[in-house]
């Protein structure tokens, strides 16, 4: 079972428009509404693959209630933390050529008590799953790890009221409870958490460049930056390079994965789908990287933030190699 933590979830509305003309009335050709937030998307991708997942997230107001309802409708267990402020609502405008314009609201400001309640809920969920596992073993007289917490995926930006060190505290508490941590955040929150040695961090190219303080122009630049994050404390680095593929840098070696995509419909949540695929495949090694690439490639070909199901995946289109194309220029260099 994989637990996800989303400190700043959202209610996401996506509209497909023929073109984005500033100052004009835009008539959408399609629309959809989804529960949003990076950790929420990881849970949605896991549920689409038939994996059990529990989503821990602060929820408030009518948008928060709707997020919980939408998640439950997708077969996702929700461990809500009630907060006074209303959950944020985001808007995305998708054009036919794949261009996406997003408006992300700031979200509520969490109090110190709400922050601690969020941390405590994660601990409670981990302990509850361990207790359930032991109970099942005693009564069935067999050893099973099917429902234990294999990973905690901590994803997204921190809401107002939470200090950059909040993720570091969560990583420390999760490790103390015996769980492994996959962290997908950026900026000061990422750098602060590295001292607690998260098992996996998942930056994109821009976030990787920001973390090391220099631009990335080639795949080799991204490899060096990922290796640097490991010296700061990251166990493994799963780096998304957009259309150029993904990198995995770990104790087991460095691997590069790529899958050709015929047409990009929406890249919302593609990185989250990749992380879900990576964790569902064990969270380490080239096979997990191949799963991450397959999930990300499938996600960008779906509308809005729809998460891919097994039927959407094309593992045969994925190439994973230890022969890294170090000199290959990045399609979109990271500044």
Retrieve residue 161's tokens: 């009221």
Mean pLDDT of 98-108: 90
Mean pLDDT of 40-56: 95
Mean pLDDT of 108-124: 96
Strands 236-240 and 246-250: antiparallel
Judge whether residue 170 has pLDDT over 60.
Answer: yes
Q: Is 164 helix (H, G, I), strand (E, B) or coil?
A: coil
Measured CA to CA in angstroms, residue 206 lies from 38, 194, 214, 217 at distances of 17, 18, 10, 11
Give the C-alpha separation, 181 to 193, whole Å: 11
State yes or no: is 34 an active-site residue. no
Give the C-alpha separation, 188 to 186, whole Å: 7
pLDDT value, residue 305:
79
Give the C-alpha separation, 90 to 96, whole Å: 20
- Sorted by sequence, the CB contacts under 8 Å of residue 210 that are 6+ apart come out as 186, 187
Domain 2-334 has CATH 3.40.50.720: no
* Residue 304 vs residue 301, higher pLDDT: 301
Task: Using pLDDT thresholds of 50, 70 and 90, give the confidence band for residue 132.
Answer: low
In 37-111, which ranges are continuous DSSP H helix? 38-48, 61-73
Give the C-alpha separation, 292 to 155, whole Å: 16
Predicted structure pTM score: 0.90
Of 59-68, 149-158, 212-221, minimum mean pLDDT range: 149-158
| Residues 141-164: tens digit of each pLDDT | 544 444 567 899 999 999 999 999
Phi/psi region, residue 98 (left: phi>0; alpha: psi -120 to 50; beta: rest), is left
pLDDT value, residue 147:
55
Phi/psi region, residue 253 (left: phi>0; alpha: psi -120 to 50; beta: rest), is left
- Sorted by sequence, the CB contacts under 8 Å of residue 326 that are 6+ apart come out as 218, 219, 220, 223
Among 117, 189, 183, smallest CA distance to 155 is for 183
> Of 251, 272, 314, 323, which one is the catalytic site residue?
272
- Listing DSSP states for 121-151 in one string gives HHHHHHHHHHHHHHHHHHHHTS---TTS--E
């Amino acid at each position: 079972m994989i637990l996800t933590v989303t400190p700043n979830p959202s209610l996401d509305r996506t509209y497909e428009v023929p073109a984005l003309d500033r100052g004009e009335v835009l008539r959408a050709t399609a629309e959809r509404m989804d529960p949003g937030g990076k950790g929420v998307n990881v849970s949605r991708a896991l549920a689409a693959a038939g994996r059990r997942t529990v989503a821990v997230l602060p929820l408030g107001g009518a948008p928060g209630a709707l997020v919980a309802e939408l998640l439950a409708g997708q077969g996702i267990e929700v461990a809500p933390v009630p907060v006074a402020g209303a959950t944020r609502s985001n808007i995305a405008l998708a054009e036919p050529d794949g261009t996406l314009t997003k408006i992300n609201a700031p979200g509520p400001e969490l109090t110190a008590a709400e922050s601690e309640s969020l941390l405590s809920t994660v601990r409670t969920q981990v302990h509850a799953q361990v207790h359930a596992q032991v109970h099942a073993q005693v009564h069935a007289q067999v050893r099973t790890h099917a429902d234990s917490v294999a990973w905690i995926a901590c994803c997204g930006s921190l809401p107002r009221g939470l200090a950059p060190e909040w993720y570091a505290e969560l990583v420390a508490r999760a490790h103390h409870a015996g769980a492994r941590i996959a962290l997908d955040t950026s900026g000061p929150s990422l750098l602060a958490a590295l001292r607690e040695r998260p098992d996996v961090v998942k930056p994109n190219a821009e976030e990787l460049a920001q973390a090391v303080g220099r631009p990335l122009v080639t795949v080799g630049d991204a490899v060096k930056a990922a290796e640097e994050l490991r010296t700061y404390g990251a166990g493994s680095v799963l780096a998304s390079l957009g259309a150029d593929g993904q990198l995995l840098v770990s104790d087991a070696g460095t691997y590069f994965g790529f899958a050709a995509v015929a047409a990009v419909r929406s890249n919302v949540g593609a990185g989250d789908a990749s992380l879900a695929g990576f964790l569902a495949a064990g969270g380490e090694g080239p096979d997990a990287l191949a799963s991450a690439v397959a999930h990300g490639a499938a996600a960008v070909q779906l509308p809005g933030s729809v998460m891919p199901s097994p039927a959407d995946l094309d593992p045969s289109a994925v190439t994973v190699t230890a022969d890294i194309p170090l000199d290959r220029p990045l399609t979109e260099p990271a500044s």
